[in-house]
Structure 1
Amino acid sequence: MFEHTDGDRGQVGIGTLIVFIAMVLVAAIAAGVLINTAGMLQTQAEATGEESTSQVSDRLEIVSVSGNVSDSNNVTDIDFVLAMAPGSSPIDLNKTTAQFIGSEGEETFTTENDTSGVSITNIQGVTEGGDNPVLTESSDRLKLNVGLNDVGYAELAEGDRMTVTFTTDAGATTQTEIRVPTTITDEDSSVRL
């Protein structure tokens, strides 16, 4: 039925088959590289997303701020009542930093319990394991007392202003402005800031 008179026909078929196999191998290698790169990018995107979410949501909420007044009617200590922001993961105050900026300059320090000028007191719900005050529930409250002179910042006089920024371990920041009342009387032992 079929007559093969030309001896070159088989060689052309083998050459085509070799080129086809080479193209399939190149395509398979390229597909493997693309799949590997896509997997790596997906992992990196997930990690970046988690870090970004933490930087936005894992922050402190300042419930109240008050200052203790000295005999010279200056604010010597500041008491912050702190809670977790809604949707936040647990926050360890020992790994949080505070920055005070005002007319007396700038001072940054960690809010680690029992360091010079800083003390943390449990107000509500926090289970303290040794010196590890961690806010874990939205109803937890801690009082952070900062002695201004002890952390290297000057006492605040009547009418002074200061900006306070708390930065958690995740990198989320909370900022508030403190304003000392323009009149402090001798009867005042503490003032709301």
Structure 2
Amino acid sequence: MLKKFIKNKKGAVGIGTLIIFIAMVLVAAIAASVIINTAGKLQHKASTVGDESTEQVASGIQVLKVVGHRNGANTTLLDKLAIMVAPNVGGEIDLSSTLLTISDGEIKSTMVYNSSAYNSTIKSSGTNNIFGAGGWGTGSSYGIIVLQDSDNSTGASEHPTINYGDKVYLTITMNISSTAKVSGEVIPDYGASGIIDFRAPSVFIENVTTLQ
């Protein structure tokens, strides 16, 4: 009877150990499944964030040049600025949703696109006086003069869109005094902003002055 009791006890211990082992295997399997699932989600999120970051850096707008127009015979005052911009490599920029901020150290203006101040004829016919052409913004708005656009992406004045190879002037009417420190940004709806940063000369000898 004693031997039988001992055998039964050993059997019970063996079954208990087996149950614990199976439970540990199940827990390990569940944990592994959770870890694999979490790792997959993190990898996807990292990939998405990486793609978005790359697009953010690659897309955007750049300021190529800023040209000013002298106010008549006044050698210490500009009355117009033409800001040449182009897209960075990647994506398209809808200029109708692009903001332009500019400051001369005393006032800071935020300007929006005015679709009535739009000129796309120069890209095909040219001009001998960019400041005498149509397409100039006034007040708190800027206009657009299209310089290069092979695929006519800027063809709709309501939503002119620039892509690779396109160049346009953003045109504003604004008084800039000599020696003024001017700064600003061309801020697209998505992507990097174009930077405006120059100091006006002490005297404007020519009617047209390259500022940046």
TM-score by length of 2: 0.72
Q: 1:62 — aligned with what?
A: 63
Query: 8 Å contact 1:58–1:168 — kept in the other structure?
Result: no
RMSD: 2.6
**TM-score (norm. length: structure 1):** 0.79
The residue type equivalent to 2:94 in the other structure is: D
Shift of 1:129: 4.8
Partner of 2:30: 29
1:118 aligns with 2:118: no
For residue 93 of structure 1, what is the amino acid of its counterpart?
A: L
Which residue number in structure 2 is paired with residue 96 of structure 1?
98
Instruction: Classify 1:20/1:76 alpha carbon distance in 2 versus 1 (closer, same or farther; 3 Å).
Output: same
- Partner-residue secondary structure (3-state), 2:159: coil
Aligned to 1:142, what secondary structure does the other structure show?
Answer: strand
Deviation at 1:72, TM superposition (A): 6.6
User: Counterpart in 1 of 2:130?
Assistant: none
Q: Which residue of 2 aligns with 1:49?
A: 50
- Cα offsets for 1:3-34 (capped at 9, x unmatched): 97712233222212211121111112211221
**May I ask how many residue pairs the two structures share in their alignment?**
181
**Alignment pair present for 1:169 and 2:193:** no
CA contact (8 A) 1:82 1:142 kept: yes
* Cα distance, 1:113 vs structure 2: 4.3
Kindly indicate which of the two structures has a greater share of residues assigned to helix.
2
Cα distance change, pair 112–44 in 1 and its aligned pair in 2 (3 A):
farther
Mapped partners of 1:8, 1:84: distance in 2: 81
Whether 2:159 is the aligned partner of 1:132: answer yes
2:30 match: secondary structure: helix
Amino acid at match of 2:146: N
* Structure 2: runs of 5 or more not aligned: 117-136
1:146 Cα deviation from its structure 2 partner: 1.8
**Which piece of structure 1 moves more, 70-79 or 11-20?**
70-79
**CA distance in 2 between partners of 1:72 and 1:12 (Å):** 107
Q: Which residue type is aligned with residue 191 of structure 1? A: T
- The higher relative CO (CA closer than 8 Å, separation ≥ 6) is in 2
Q: Sort the Cα spacing of 1:192 and 1:25 in 2 relative to 1 into closer, same or farther, 3 A.
A: same
Specify every segment of 5 or more residues in structure 1 that has no aligned partner in the other structure, as ranges.
149-154
Q: 1:19 to 1:102 in 2, by over 3 A?
A: same
Match of 2:41 in 1: 40
- Give the % identical residues: 33
Structure 1 contact 67–192 (Cα < 8 Å) conserved: yes
Cα distance change, pair 54–72 in 1 and its aligned pair in 2 (3 A): farther
